[in-house]
Amino acid sequence: MVLKIRLARFGKRNAPFYNIVVAQARTARNSKPLEVLGTYDPIPKPPSSGEGKAVKDIKLDISRAKYWLGVGAQPSEPAWRLLSMIGLLEPKYHGPPQAEGDQVGVESQ
């Protein structure tokens, strides 16, 4: 049984809202999950004080997320980005592809 940590979309058209869920890899996006870990609201909201930058709201049960990562649940790409923002995973670096001869740290003579 392969488990995925992924986003399940809720909300209205042009106003997305996501639940961060653990589900079996072969089930549909909005099918019933094994567990809901948290929520993610991608629409930036102004801070309550009125000053500063608008923020996106991420709420996550960190202990349960650590548990599911520990038992082998694989995060999807968007879930990986969210978990790396929180500090649970290392961020993936998607730099420009390197040619075979352009390896870093290898000298050719």
> What does the alpha-carbon distance between residue 64 and residue 87 come to, in Å, rounded to a whole number?
14
For 11-67, write each residue's pLDDT tens digit: 899 999 999 999 998 988 888 899 999 999 988 888 877 788 888 888 999 999 999
pTM assigned to the model? 0.76
Q: Compute how many other C-beta atoms are within 10 angstroms of the C-beta atom of residue 32.
A: 9
Closest CA to 80 of 5, 1, 2, 3: 5
Q: Which residues of 16-30 are buried (b: 16+ CB within 10 A; e: fewer)?
A: ebbbbbbbeeeeeee
